[in-house]
Structures are given as C-alpha cells and as structure tokens.
Amino acid sequence: MIAKCLEPVGRWFFPPENEAITTYLIWITFMKNIVHLIYMVWQKGLYPAPKPLPRTRSFWIAFGLVTLAVLAYIIYFSIFLTAKQDAFKTNGEDLGIMDQAIWSLLHGSMLHQTICNSLTDTNCYGLDGIYRFAIHFEPILFPISLLYLIWSDPKALMILQVLVVASGAFPAFWLARLRLQNAWAAVPFALLYLLYPAQQYAVNYDFHAVTLTIALLLFALYFLYTRKTLWFFVFVILCLACKEEIAGVVVMLGLWTLLLQRRWRVGLGLIALAFCWTAIGLIVIHYASPVGHSLLTSRYSYLGNSPVQVALTILTHPIGNHQRARAGAKPQALLAPASGAGGLSPAAGSLGTGASFAHTRPELGSVPIQICTAAASSTTRRSFRS
C-alpha cells in the first residue's frame, strides 16, 4: 500500500527516461522503510521524561573522575596550543582571520577581515577586505569579543575554545547516566567524548565558532531529554549563533521532539526558530556581502547557480548527491572513530543529518550526536522489543 502511494512521487523524482528502474525501486523501498520507522517510533514514544536518580556517593565519585579528566584535558590543550602559537605553528587562516575580525569589532569596525589567499580561497574580494558576515553568520562573536577587553591575544580564543569544548564531557556523562541508570557506566562516555579524534582535531585546528557547538549541542540535548525547556532554548540559541548551518540540526531536533517526545509546541517552536534564524542570516549576509550573497556559495556551484536550482537539484537527484557526499571516505571518517556507534540508534543518530553533509568535514559536527547515540542505543533497542 505504501509503495503504491509513493509510486507517483517516485516517477516524478526518477522519470524512466532519466533514471534506471533499479534506482526507482531503491527509492520506493527507502521511503517505505522511513515511513515504517516513523510509525514505529510514534507508537512506542521512545523518550519519555526520565526518572530522577539520587545523587549517591557513587555518583559523586564518578563525577569527580570525569572532572579530573576534564581538568587534564584543559591543562594539556591549553599548554599545547599556547606553545603552538608561540612557535608560529598556527595559521593565518583561520586563527589570524578570527583574531583580526574580533579585534576590529572593538576598534570601530564590524568584524572586518583582510587576510585572504587569492589562489585558493573563494572568499577573496578586493584589497580592502570584507566583513565576516559576508562569509558566515556567527553572532556569537559579539559576546566573545568582550574577552579581548581583558586579554587581547589569539591565545585567549584558543583557551576559550578548549574550556567550552571540555565542558561537553559533563552533559555526556549526565545523559549516559540517565539512559543507563548507572553513574559508573556513564564515565566511559565522557572519556569517549574527550578522546574523540575529530573533536581533538577541531580544537587543535585554530579557532572556529562552530567548534563550540560540539559542547553546546550536548548541553542542549541534555536539557531536551530532561525537559528543561528554558535552558534547552538558551543553548539552542547559542548553537545557532555559532554558524548558519546549525539551523539544520535544530530542525532535526524539532522533528525528534515531535516524534519521540510528542511535545508539539516545543517541536514546532524549534522548527519555526530555525527557519526564522535562517531567514535573518540570509538577510544579514545579503547586506554584508559585496556581491549580495555569501562569498562561499561557489563551493556548492555543482548544485546550481541559485537557491531555487540548489533546492531542485537536492530534491530531484538524491541518489547522486548521496554518492557525492560519500566520496572521499567521509562515512569512514564519520563513524570509525566511535567504532560505528552512530549506527546503533538511528533515531538519535539522525539528529546530525541536518548539517553533517552541508559541512566540508561532517565528522566535526557529529561528535555530540555520536556520543548521545552510543548512550541511547541500548535503551532504544529495549524500547522496541517491549
């Protein structure tokens, strides 16, 4: 029945004269499985409000071990990155760009940057430089710039990044504790977060606002799961402020809330917030850019020359886009560091699909999703069996 209902859709996406019949059948089967999964999820309601756990002596000992691991992480990376800066081993792109943009904000200019490699960059436009918002919509840089009132040095940005990312071990521990009902079983998940290679690569590679979302998304997931709505929206907004593509993750969080928690107002509010934030970002980039759109759009020129063409290409050629996203061993880089934990719970793992393939390095944006997925997998399977 489902296949018959989807047959006209399949013919529109894959007309016989353009696509092989096998591709059409794969699409129908895929859509049928998606509909079936959504139906099962809706019937089961996998994520009810968690039962509070007492904070026993065992909890505080386990939490203390996690705190020691976080402190060790902070000390190591702070020393390593500051020494790296002193040894001139950091990069003008992007640490120099971020340092210049933030410094300029406190000296009468709106996130102005002039550093650019005209041979390889797609964001070069004249010798006078550009505004940061002509490339990315990152309003989180406004409060971050206040740090330069205390210490105007790129080392401050790197240490701030280390502190924020390291704090993500705590929500990883709290989430795993609630899902597994055991504090000691949650400790390895916090350590997995701190030792995750893609996360450490992001921290080591200069300073980027989007790297902060590794921890901020985990805090958002924790407050979503515990249904602390106010704090959840606070961290969602902080995540959105780090980069424009995070709106895709927020949309997936909204769908996740609708399907798995059945919280209509929160879920619809998240989706509306993501679309409104995207609209604001497009307007800001339009006025900040000397060409009226992001200077990075050429990276996606293979999809089309306008937003409408890009959307149509994504909708009408999903198989081709999927194959392109798989090129360059990206799935291996995404799943291998966590031993494939992202595939244990499709419901939780799907949260990262909103932005993972939009980023040139999707493994960097999926760290909190994989940690959450690993913690959720055992109880998810148990819920489906019951």
Statement: residue 4 has pLDDT above 60: no
How far is 139 from 101, CA to CA, in rounded Å? Answer: 12
Asked whether 131 and 111 are in contact (CB, 8 A), the reply is yes
Residues 71 and 28 in one domain: no
Residues 236 and 290 in one domain: yes
Percent of the chain with pLDDT over 70: 69
Residues 348 and 240 in one domain: yes
Alpha helices per DSSP H over 45-196? 57-86, 97-105, 141-145, 154-167, 169-180, 183-195
How far is 289 from 297, CA to CA, in rounded Å? Answer: 12
How far is 275 from 34, CA to CA, in rounded Å? Answer: 24
Residues 194 and 289 in one domain: yes
Residues 184 and 241 in one domain: yes
pLDDT of residue 226: 92
> What does the pLDDT look like over 313-332, one tens digit per residue?
877 877 777 677 666 556 66
> What does the pLDDT look like over 330-348, one tens digit per residue?
666 666 666 666 666 655 6
Percent of the chain with pLDDT over 90: 43
> What does the pLDDT look like over 35-75, one tens digit per residue?
666 666 555 556 677 788 888 999 999 999 999 999 999 99
Query: Hey, which of 29-33, 169-173, 244-248 has the most confident mean pLDDT?
Result: 169-173
Mean pLDDT score across all residues of the chain: 80
pLDDT of residue 363: 42
CA distances from 87 to 80, 81, 82, 115 (A): 10, 10, 9, 20
Residue 362: pLDDT band with limits 50, 70, 90: very low
Answer with the one of 29, 44, 59 that is the final residue of a domain: 44
How does DSSP assign 193-205, residue by residue? HHH-HHHHHHHHS
pLDDT of residue 332: 66
Of 253, 54, 77, give the one whose Cα is nearest residue 165: 77
Residues 219 and 342 in one domain: yes
CA 361 to chain centre: 11
Backbone angles phi, psi at 107, to 5 degrees: -130, 35
**Region 197-213 average pLDDT:** 92
Domain count, the chain: 2
pLDDT of residue 379: 46
Residues 9 and 82 in one domain: no
Residues 152 and 172 in one domain: yes
**Region 159-184 average pLDDT:** 95
pTM of the entire predicted model: 0.79
pLDDT of residue 165: 97
pLDDT of residue 325: 66
Residues 174 and 303 in one domain: yes
Residues 24 and 151 in one domain: no
CA distances from 88 to 84, 239, 324 (A): 6, 31, 36
Residues 130 and 23 in one domain: no
Statement: residue 233 has pLDDT above 70: yes
Higher pLDDT, 289 or 166: 166
**Region 293-313 average pLDDT:** 76
The CB density around residue 84, as the number of other CB atoms within 10 Å, is 17
Domain with 278, as residue range(s), is 45-385
The CB density around residue 291, as the number of other CB atoms within 10 Å, is 11
**Region 268-273 average pLDDT:** 95
Higher pLDDT, 3 or 348: 348
Residues 103 and 162 in one domain: yes
pLDDT of residue 111: 86
Paired sense of beta strands 130-131 and 112-113, if any: antiparallel
> What does the pLDDT look like over 66-110, one tens digit per residue?
999 999 999 999 999 999 999 999 988 889 999 999 999 998 888
Backbone angles phi, psi at 290, to 5 degrees: -70, -15
**Region 239-255 average pLDDT:** 92
User: For residues 336, 363, 275 and 42, what is the CA-based torsion angle, rounded to 10 degrees?
Assistant: 10
